[in-house]
Structure 1
Amino acid sequence: MGGRDRLAAIHNLKLDVIAHTALVEQSYRQAPFITSYERDQIVIDHEHQRLMQKQHSVWPEADLKGADSDVTLIVTPAGGVYRFGTKDAPCGASDLDATRDALALSPEAVLLTAAEATDLHYAATESLRSTPHTVLAFTWNKTPVKVLVNRFNHLPDAVETTQQFRDFWFYWGDVQQRVYFDNWRLVQGIEYPSNQITERNGILWNSTQALDIEFNAASDDKDFNIDAKAAAQSLQSKGWNRPFSAANSQQLAPGIDLFQGSWNTTIVKQNDGIVILETPISGTFTQGIFDEARKRYPEQNIAAILSTSDSWPHTGGVRYDVAEGLPVYILDLNKPLLDRIVAAPHTLDPDALAKSKKQANWHIVSGRTEIGAGPNRMILYPLRGASTERQYMVYFPEHQLLYASDTLVLNPDHTLYDPELFREVQQAVEHEHLQVKTVYAMHQAPVSWSEVIAVLQKSLA
């Protein structure tokens, strides 16, 4: 790449990049995945262990004409923030982790990091792109790392790690990541890969192409000044492993308790036990839901779980459900994905299922399915729309109450986020001849059905 001295002399790296990401976690119908795009200006400051990324994103699942957005991520040893205009907010835990990786495992840094490792050794030779590669192996920050070095040109072609990430891949436990380096350029006497492609668990996930590369660019410390309080809060983030709160609860009907938050969940008391409608986010969150259900209805056992969607983090508590040995009602189309989630290794941070090693007790929903009897009986209906193919809705006939899975969000201006989603709910309701007075969803508080239909019709006009 130019020699140890040249790499060690890199104080910072400035990149102008264009990138795309396969929305593995967001694509309504799974592969082939919807793609998001971005154009970024990035500064990786090795000397001061900090990063700045000015990001212009194009998000395909935004409302029409609303796909573009801008944000600046700034991470320093004191923490990280998202900057919107002049305001700073705490960044996510995954951004802190990604910055840590960039500072230690990026192309210009990874060989220096390897050289400092006390356990650096050769691993078995591997073939990459039909070419033999020498493999350097070491541990960094408790993370096993392998660097695949091309036998012919002696350049590092890929870096492999096994990590538990704190973005949506959190649910997959021990994730195998490989970052390919390619499209090499000679820049200021250094061979540098202008293209990096990230593969996770065998899925080609992200590709970033540098359009301009500059080492040791002039920088201004003022650009890295961030709100100290927001930065400190970012360091306290637990990522998706967050606790449950019963603070914002609402009784929809006797024995039907809704707990609102970033992801809503409902505890339903029936004659023969408690049914929990959605166990999202994490095992920690789901354990809190179970504790609340047993606190409210100590005389009842938890009889079943309803998991209405394949979308992350809606399925975040499913592994805990399985560990508890409970029947989980899932849509037929989602079984292959959920089977993989349940089987995913969690050795780095063993969760309840990794310890219990129980088998899933799936109850497959492929058509109209009735749960329980009495005033709080529920009927499950697959939606089967183009955007709702992997969701089912839950109807409480005695209350004319509908839970619409992940299809309904009223924007602050009283418009619908993605009207197509709720249009498909309306079609399913009409097809099943349901009488609905009130509707709510994973991210929406209860609202009058007639009100939502009026907003929908306005959006379609």
Structure 2
Amino acid sequence: MNRPTPVFVALIALSFAAQTFADDSMQDGAIVSSQVHPGCEKIDARSCLDLAIDAMGGYRRLADIHSVNYDSIGYVELADQSPRQYPFLTAYERDEVTVDFDGQRLVRHEHLIWPESDPHTENVDVTMIIDPQGARCRGTQGAMPCELLGLDSAEDALTMVPERLLLQARAATDLHYGVSQWLRATPHTALAFTWHGQQVQVLLNAYTHLPDALERTRLFRDFWLSWGDVRQRVYFDNWRLVQGVVLPTTYVEQRNGIELGSTQIFNPVFNGAIDNEASAKASNGRTGDTAPPLWNSPFSDKQHVELAPGIELYQGAWNTTLIKQDDGVLVLEAPISSTFVKAVLAKAHSEYPASPIKGVISTSDSWPHIAGVRQAVADNLPVYVLDLNRPLLDALVAAPHSLRADDLQTHPAPPHWVTVGHQMELGQGPNRAILYPLRGALTERQYMVYFPQYRLLYASDTLAINPDKTLFFPEMMHEVAQAVAREHLQVDTVFAMHEGPTSWAWVKKQITSASVAGEHPVPHDPSPE
């Protein structure tokens, strides 16, 4: 075999370097030129849009689409969950979808596969209906509130899919050229317009004139609400000819540069049958049955447990705890929103008016658990964060929130992080708290809080109990038990973000039961003995 000469190797290296430079200069989002509209030179924005409409099949064909039926399969990256950062855990979904554009109604039969499930519970079936009266969902157990996670994507399916998107642009009174940019190493012209108060950009391929992507900055109603003004890009690809319309059948969504997921459409049919009877049955007469917006989740002091003198647990969807020490008060957790945490801090001031708030203890990287940290930063409070979570929290407090301003947006302040990388003691006396990083495979982004005087342990986001009094995700509690043994802790009672005081002896029996194949759960009450 001939060996390459040094000159040949050098030429390959130079060629690779040149290609790398070229690729870098054409990265997605890189500006082509502020004065050039590739593929639409010397014509105005409306004429450019007409080229895109013609490329998809023409205005008459698009306007004659009244509904679409299709199957889809896709995945979502669970960036908001706590076990690990990128690359994220993935959930999967297989759907049957009917979209009625004229009636602004969507029916989606969802089959979900969730990775963080107990054995044999990973499959979930839900029917979601959206119409002008609201949103309804129905699962195997009957009617249920619709999770806001799916409402934004469902509403986009009614308005922002390419066969509707170009018609929305055509109806806009402010259609204009945006800044042309590279997309997939191809020049694209940007057309911008306002839709429902939002600036929307469509990126048109210079050669095909097809809309290859949608861009906008928006608020979301799922856990991305923590990030305020989110930059969304949806790529359209895998174009197919469907009843005379050139239609993309692959959608890839990015948010703030993170690839959120991908959806593949199969067997699309325009203007097919709409099963009104099935829709009515799934709806079951319920209207507007949606979960409340997460940022409006209220803090309540009604479900209150004194874990020990001066250690007050306030239970709800998001548990928070006030820890009174000799020199002030510690707030354990800043979850879900700035509004929620503002109420928690007000409760701390009213409960202990003569004591300053010493700081906020934030034990996890799960987005709903850290969403209120911005309020703690705005109030110039020290925040105790795990070393591995610093980059995520730095990004969170730097994220713009101009579309829905919070206190940190209107009164910027630098964060005062106290990094937890090893055992750390807070305070003195009977309510002394000790922080311990968990460092498990599932719990590497969490730390626990131990109160030695009371043999009391806070286990972050690891403890949850199923309705049948078994542990949800016992693997996490197994890692907590390992950390308790490693640190030689004496524990009688454990509590967590979503669980009240629980017998540690019962938890250990549950861990043992879960680790023995075929053994039934321990049946007795998990409350502290």
Q: TM-score, normalised by structure 2?
A: 0.85
Give the conservation status (yes or no) of the 8 Å contact 1:79–1:96: no
> What's 1:74 paired with?
129
Unmatched tracts of structure 2, length 5 or more: 1-55, 517-529
Q: Secondary structure at the match of 1:124?
A: coil
Aligned to 2:155, which of 82, 96, 100?
100
Is 1:232 the counterpart of 2:288? The answer is: yes
Give the conservation status (yes or no) of the 8 Å contact 1:437–1:449: yes
Give the conservation status (yes or no) of the 8 Å contact 1:147–1:159: yes
Q: Secondary structure at the match of 2:80?
A: coil
Aligned residue identity for 2:288: A
- 91-100 or 336-345: bigger deviation: 91-100
Q: Secondary structure at the match of 1:289?
A: helix
> What's 1:116 paired with?
171
Give the conservation status (yes or no) of the 8 Å contact 2:295–2:339: no
How do residues 191-340 of structure 1 correspond to structure 2 at under 5 angstroms? 191-225=246-280, 230-234=286-290, 237-340=292-395
**Higher radius of gyration, 1 or 2:** 2
Is 1:375 the counterpart of 2:430? The answer is: yes
Aligned residue identity for 1:394: V
Q: What is the alpha-carbon distance in structure 1 between the residues aligned to residue 82 and residue 375 of structure 2? A: 24
Deviation at 1:11, TM superposition (A): 0.7
> Between the two proteins, what is the percent identity of the paired residues?
52
Deviation at 1:238, TM superposition (A): 2.5
Q: Secondary structure at the match of 2:306?
A: strand
Q: What is the alpha-carbon distance in structure 2 between the residues aligned to residue 296 and residue 275 of structure 1? A: 12
> What's 1:391 paired with?
446
Deviation at 1:196, TM superposition (A): 0.5
> What's 2:457 paired with?
402
Aligned residue identity for 1:320: Q
> What's 2:39 paired with?
none
Q: What is the alpha-carbon distance in structure 2 between the residues aligned to residue 224 and residue 376 of structure 1? A: 56
Is 1:366 the counterpart of 2:395? The answer is: no
Aligned residue identity for 1:305: V
Deviation string 1:1-31 (CA, Å, 9 cap, x unpaired) is 1111111111111110110111111251211
- Larger helix share, 1 or 2: 2
Aligned to 1:449, which of 466, 483, 504?
504
- 90-99 or 281-290: bigger deviation: 90-99
Q: What is the alpha-carbon distance in structure 2 between the residues aligned to residue 239 and residue 276 of structure 1? A: 21
> What's 1:424 paired with?
479
> What's 2:466 paired with?
411
Deviation string 1:210-251 (CA, Å, 9 cap, x unpaired) is 1211111111323333658852343x8323332211111111
- 76-85 or 26-35: bigger deviation: 26-35
Q: Secondary structure at the match of 1:109?
A: helix
> What's 2:58 paired with?
3
Q: What is the alpha-carbon distance in structure 2 between the residues aligned to residue 145 and residue 22 of structure 1? A: 24
Q: CA distance change for structure 1 residues 374 and 337 in 2, over 3 Å: closer, same or farther?
A: same
- 409-418 or 96-105: bigger deviation: 96-105
Aligned to 1:170, which of 211, 214, 225?
225
Give the conservation status (yes or no) of the 8 Å contact 1:277–1:306: yes
Deviation at 1:97, TM superposition (A): 3.0
Deviation at 1:363, TM superposition (A): 0.3
Deviation at 1:101, TM superposition (A): 2.1
Q: What is the alpha-carbon distance in structure 2 between the residues aligned to residue 140 and residue 239 of structure 1? A: 24
Aligned residue identity for 2:262: S
Aligned residue identity for 2:319: N
Give the conservation status (yes or no) of the 8 Å contact 2:77–2:259: yes
Give the conservation status (yes or no) of the 8 Å contact 1:89–1:230: no
Q: CA distance change for structure 1 residues 19 and 136 in 2, over 3 Å: closer, same or farther?
A: same
Aligned to 2:398, which of 343, 349, 363?
343
- 84-93 or 68-77: bigger deviation: 84-93
> What's 2:180 paired with?
125
Q: CA distance change for structure 1 residues 174 and 49 in 2, over 3 Å: closer, same or farther?
A: same
Give the conservation status (yes or no) of the 8 Å contact 2:136–2:289: no
Deviation at 1:414, TM superposition (A): 2.1
Q: What is the alpha-carbon distance in structure 1 between the residues aligned to residue 262 and residue 150 of structure 2? A: 17
Unmatched tracts of structure 1, length 5 or more: none
- Larger strand share, 1 or 2: 1
Q: What is the alpha-carbon distance in structure 2 between the residues aligned to residue 90 and residue 33 of structure 1? A: 27
Q: What is the alpha-carbon distance in structure 1 between the residues aligned to residue 148 and residue 506 of structure 2? A: 38
Deviation string 1:245-267 (CA, Å, 9 cap, x unpaired) is 11111111111110111111101
Q: Secondary structure at the match of 1:319?
A: helix
Q: Secondary structure at the match of 1:108?
A: helix
Deviation string 1:267-308 (CA, Å, 9 cap, x unpaired) is 111111010000111011101111111121111111110000
Give the conservation status (yes or no) of the 8 Å contact 2:364–2:460: yes
Give the conservation status (yes or no) of the 8 Å contact 2:82–2:364: no
Q: Secondary structure at the match of 1:240?
A: helix
